[in-house]
Structures are given as structure tokens and as C-alpha cells.
Amino acid sequence: MTATIDAHVRLDTHPTHPSAVQAVLTGTQARVALTALEAADWRVAATNVLVLARIDHEEPYWADDAAKHLIVEGITVEITPRLQEASNEEWTWANYPMPWCTRSEVREVSNQAQKIHDDIRNGQLLIHAHAHDGHTTVAVGTYLHRGGKSVYLHGEDHLRQVADTFDSPAEALTAFESVHAAALRPGPAPLTDTERAAIEARSVFDVTTAKSEPSRPEPEIVPVYLADAGDHDALLETFLDAHDEFEKWRTWSDDTTHAIHESQTLRIERVHETPAHETAWTVAAYETPVSDRMWVLTATGATPAPVLQDLLTHLADGDGWDTAIGAPIDEKMVTSATQPLSDAGWKHTVDGRWIRWTSPHGAAGVHFDAFAAQHPNQNLATWTIWAGPGPDQPTWAITASPHTPSSLLAGLSESLAQETGTRQVQLGREHRADLAASAPAVPAVTAGRPVSRSR
């Protein structure tokens, strides 16, 4: 006999999404139910509140399936009358392209499409390119598991299917380009209304009433390397709005945005909500769309916004992302990359394998690793730009591999040496406590236009 678990799950329809289901958990062992639902791809939306939002609109069916499994585990489940009505309701897709399928077969086709959707959203299926074939969206991608097979995808939402498979990304892209060259676009297709609605339904709930925020002191002007990090997401959005040669796509897990140049040889990755000391940006250049990368540059989450702005500007201008394999790094290239620092009076020292430039007050520096520079195929961090208490405990840092173009590095050096930014004045303990206590809450998320379904 299954032991009873002190956990109660109340399943109900979602407050804004037309087919999604929410689960409210209570009990001293609610964590057991939460773990079981997460394993079934329910998404935590608030404390002890989970949401099931799918692109096939079969949430009531799968919620009922989850309820049966929870009951077997000894968890008490309550299903509201309106959700039970939705579970019992028979419906069909209008103009379904496979009318010979039974209802259960339609559900299986939709579930396979859901699995493809989830693999993309969870970063297990990397989409290289997409196109519109005149009727629907097609795409080509590679699984990061399942033996690394590349696939040709046909259709959208609940009709997306694997139409063909390939042994390598190069083979898949070549075949895809031969058919869809004129309409090919890098990365995945823009979100459909159904996909966007599902993402919104899974968003975090917050019903806390916002409080007014007390006035903050005016920011102070500081050297650019001491400036505040600012809003990196807004910075990227502004950049992409101004440069349509970069194609944007965001992973289905919603935690990473990729910006890919139309040549597919320059790629920018922005990982959202990254801790200050961890990598939040990665810029990589390739000789061809399917070759190994030529060079890579990374930046941590606390990198000042003006520094990133200058970096993106140089990339957009085509200044310093030539993907041709360069000559070995020599003294002339190092001098070219750091001349603005020397001109601004930064202290220059040589210590074994390290060549260093340090700002006049020691709050920032640039390090060049001569040893790493001799191993260009390993993408080692040859250059390190830092600011903070010291190079071993930086507030933020940028690293770059051997073949990172000297013109791009020179642009960053010039920014460090000459530009300024703003920094919020450091508050006293009492004022910081007041701000923390009265900081406004994140507004409640409202789903977009509901996606109707024929019944």
C-alpha cells in the first residue's frame, strides 16, 4: 500500500492563458509534488505554484495524466470543475492537414512536436538556420545529444516534424541551402503567437503591490572602467534594433539571446541574469558558418555598459572581426592594441610571461599572456581586461583569445584610457536599508492575445 504524503495539489485552469493549467501546492511535503511536476515539464511560476503551458493546447489532458501519477505516489489531488470540464471536452483542430488520424494519433503527432519544441527551448536542439518555403516554416538544426544527429524540421507549433536526418551539421546546412538559399535566415525562426503565449503563461507570477521608491542621489562621473554595469539586456536590444544585419533569437528556456551576423561568421551570445563575476557575453568569429571559431572574447556580468557599447559599435562597424587566420602575435601587434593606454600614462611592466598595463590609480589593468599567445589553436585567454580591487579579485573582466584582432583591442584600450561613465553614488547603510525595504515589486505578468482552438 502506498504511503500517504502530506502534499495537496490543486489543479485549475490558468488565469489568463486559454488552455494552460496551474497547480497550487500545499502541505509539509509539497516539495515532493513539486519535483514530480517539474519532471513532467511543469514550470515554477511562484512559490508552490507551477504552470503547464504547451504549444499543442493539450494541457488539460496532460494535467489529468499528471494527476493520476501523483495519486499513485500517495499525493492528494484536487481538480477544479472547470478544469475537469476542459479535460472531458472533445475537440478537433480546424483544417487539420492529416484528417485520417484518430484523436489519439493527432495527440501523438502534437506530442512529438511538443518534444521538438522543448528540445529547442532547453538548448538540446541547436537551430542553425530557418526559411519559409511558401507554405510553412522549415529549419535545420543539430541535437546536442542523441548522437549529435542533424535534422531537417518542417512545420510550426503542433505540426512541426522531423522530415529528414543528416550525419553532420555541414551536410545538413549544405542540403538546406541547396533548397532554400534565397529565403535562408540564420538561427531559429521568430516565435509564433502560440509559442509566445506559452512562454508568457510560464512567466513568474507576482501579485505584490508595488511601493514608491524614494529618490536616489545623482550619479557621479567616473572613468569608464568604474562605471555601473547598467542594463545589458536593453543595450543589446538597442544594438539589434539599429543593426538589422544581425539576426536575433532567444533560447526556449528564455535565458540566452543569440545575435548572428548575416554572414553567419560572427556570433554574439548574451546569457541573461548572470552573476556579476560570471561570463554574460561571448563574441566569437568563424572562417565559415560551419568551421571552428577563429577567436573568442568574453565579458562578465558586471562589465560597464559603456565598455560593452563600444565593443558592439566596433563589431557593427566591421572593425576588427576579420575571420581570416592571422599571423602569430608579434610585438608590433601588441603595441598597436595597447598604444592608447601608453599614451594615457598607464604603467607598463613586464613580469616573465606577463606584460601588464595598469591605470594611474591601480583600479584597472590589461594583461597580455605571452605564453598563451603561442598556442593560438587552444583559444586560451591571451588578453585580460579587468577593473576592481585587483586582477585576482576583479569587479568585472573581459578575456580575449590569441587571434582577437588588434584593431578591436585597440578600440577597447582607447575606451578605457579616454572615456567616462556614470556610477551611482555609494549610499550609507541606513539609506541602503530604506531603498531595499521600499524597492518596487516586479509587476504582474499578463499573457498576450489568447490562441483560440476549434472544438
- pLDDT of 328: 62
Residues 252, 117: contact at Cβ < 8 Å? yes
**Full pLDDT tens readout for the chain, 455 residues:** 456 789 999 999 998 888 899 999 999 999 999 999 999 989 888 889 999 999 988 999 999 999 999 999 999 999 999 898 888 877 777 778 888 888 889 889 999 999 999 888 888 899 999 999 988 999 999 998 767 899 999 999 999 999 999 999 999 999 999 999 888 988 888 888 888 888 888 776 543 333 344 455 667 888 999 999 989 998 998 888 888 899 888 765 568 899 999 888 899 999 988 888 899 999 998 888 888 888 899 999 999 999 999 999 888 887 555 544 455 677 888 998 999 999 999 999 998 889 999 999 899 999 999 888 887 666 678 999 999 988 888 999 999 988 888 889 999 999 999 998 888 765 443 333 333 333 333 222 222 323 333 33
- 3 state SS of 25: strand
What are the φ and ψ backbone dihedral angles of 87, each rounded to 5 degrees? -65, -35
Residues 376, 328: contact at Cβ < 8 Å? yes
Residues 56, 158: contact at Cβ < 8 Å? yes
CA 67 to CA 7: how far, in whole Å? Answer: 13
CA 132 to CA 155: how far, in whole Å? Answer: 10
430 domain-assigned: no
Q: Which residues contact 84 (CB under 8 A, 6 or more apart)?
A: none
Whether pTM exceeds 0.75: no
| 41 & 108 share domain | no
| 303 & 224 share domain | yes
Residues 188, 440: contact at Cβ < 8 Å? no
314 domain-assigned: yes
Q: What DSSP letter does each residue of 199-249 carry, written as one string?
A: HHHTSPP--PPP-PPPP-PPPEEEEGGGS----HHHHHHHHHHH-TTEEEE
- pLDDT of 256: 87
Quote the domain boundaries for residue 165. 103-190
Strand partners, 77: 9
Q: What DSSP letter does each residue of 351-366 carry, written as one string?
A: ETTEEEEE-TTSSEEE
| 75 & 152 share domain | no
Q: Which residues contact 450 (CB under 8 A, 6 or more apart)?
A: 16, 17, 18, 197
| 111 & 165 share domain | yes
CA 127 to CA 184: how far, in whole Å? Answer: 12
- 3 state SS of 376: helix
| 74 & 134 share domain | no
278 domain-assigned: yes
| 40 & 183 share domain | no
135 domain-assigned: yes
| 241 & 371 share domain | yes
Number of domains in the chain: 3
- pLDDT of 250: 72
66: enclosing H helix or E strand: helix 59-72
| 378 & 279 share domain | yes
Residues 283, 314: contact at Cβ < 8 Å? no
Helices (H), ranges, 231-357: 232-242, 305-316, 331-343
- pLDDT of 122: 80
| 174 & 234 share domain | no
205 domain-assigned: no
- Write the CA distances from 306 to 71, 234, 380, integer angstroms: 55, 12, 26
| 339 & 407 share domain | yes
CA 72 to CA 75: how far, in whole Å? Answer: 7
174 domain-assigned: yes
| 336 & 231 share domain | yes
CA 19 to CA 53: how far, in whole Å? Answer: 8
452 domain-assigned: no
Q: What DSSP letter does each residue of 97-152 carry, written as one string?
A: S-TTS-HHHHHHHHHHHHHHHHHHHTTSEEEEEEEE-SSSEEEEEEESSGGG-EEE
- Which of 38, 61, 88 is the last residue in one of the domains? 88
| 84 & 108 share domain | no
Angle, CA 376 vertex, CA 372 and CA 377 arms, to 5°: 120
What is the CATH number for 32? 3.30.70
- Which of 88, 123, 142 is the last residue in one of the domains? 88
- pLDDT of 444: 28
94 domain-assigned: no
CA 93 to CA 157: how far, in whole Å? Answer: 13
CA 173 to CA 138: how far, in whole Å? Answer: 12
